[in-house]
């Protein structure tokens, strides 16, 4: 689970494209904190600090305590816009959160014990239907990832979300037992079957 990370920001007085461009020219990234039925707060973040934070990973599953002047806002990133040419961040949206409130968030899925799957050993392939799963979780218990154990899976077996261990208090946003992954037969066998058909 991600810990709360302190991020120091400055108030951004100007709004609009002109003010945002000026902010970027000065080495900052414009951002906004919104939600919890409070007025949005426009801020600017040090560009270098933001890049370091992004490179650590887990950005969208991290709760930030954003300090602006004498105020402090608990928020989670909801969207980041990037420059199409250089890929650098140009704007960040943060969603203000109340402690313990439920939020919807995309959590990456990791697959383990490939060598313990008879289906994969026999030449089958792991067919991943969902690399991320959208969960509804308490904002003070955000998981870094979900783990799917492939032990014992044969060719043709399917892993549904009901078979994945979710953190306490977490539930899928989608209200059905959807497929996360399956073990597909070897490509050569599939091709032969298609030729015979």
CA dihedral 19, 96, 105, 108 (to 10 degrees): 70
Q: Round to whole Å and give the CA distance between 95 and 163.
A: 31
**HSE on the CB side for 170, CA within 13 Å?**
24
In the predicted model, what is the mean pLDDT of residues 14-29?
83
Looking at per-residue pLDDT, the higher value among 100 and 140 belongs to: 140
| Helix (H/G/I), strand (E/B), else coil: 21 | helix
Q: pTM for this one?
A: 0.64
Q: Which of the residue ranges 39-43, 57-61, 69-73, 106-110 would you say has the lowest mean pLDDT?
A: 57-61
How does the average pLDDT of the chain come out, rounded? 88
Query: How do beta strands 89-96 and 64-68 pair?
Result: unpaired
3-class DSSP assignment, residue 34: strand
Which long-range contacts link 156-163 to residues 24+ away (Cβ below 8 Å)?
A: 156/119, 156/182, 156/183, 156/185, 157/119, 157/182, 157/183, 158/182, 158/183, 161/133
- What is the rounded average pLDDT of the residues 118-126? 95
CA dihedral 49, 67, 106, 81 (to 10 degrees): -50
Task: Say what the pLDDT of residue 12 is.
Answer: 85
Structure tokens at 132: 């991320």
Which helix (H) or strand (E) is 150 found in, with range?
none
């Amino acid at each position: 689970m991600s810990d709360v990370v302190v991020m120091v920001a400055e108030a951004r007085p100007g709004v609009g494209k002109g003010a945002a461009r000026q902010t970027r020219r000065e080495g900052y990234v414009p951002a906004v904190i919104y939600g919890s039925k409070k007025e949005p707060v426009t801020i600017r973040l040090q560009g270098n600090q933001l890049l370091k934070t992004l490179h650590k990973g887990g950005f969208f599953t991290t709760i930030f305590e954003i300090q602006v002047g004498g105020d402090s806002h608990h928020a989670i990133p909801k969207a980041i816009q990037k420059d199409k040419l250089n890929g650098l961040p140009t704007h960040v949206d943060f969603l203000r959160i109340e402690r313990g409130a439920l939020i919807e968030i995309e959590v990456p899925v990791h697959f383990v014990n490939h060598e313990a799957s008879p289906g994969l050993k026999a030449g089958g392939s792991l067919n991943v239907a969902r690399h991320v799963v959208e969960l509804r979780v308490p904002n003070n218990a955000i998981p870094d990832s979900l783990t799917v154990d492939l032990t014992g899976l044969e060719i043709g077996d399917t892993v549904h979300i009901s078979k994945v261990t979710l953190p306490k208090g977490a539930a899928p946003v989608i209200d059905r037992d959807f497929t996360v992954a399956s073990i597909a037969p070897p490509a050569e066998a599939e091709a032969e079957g298609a030729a015979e058909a």
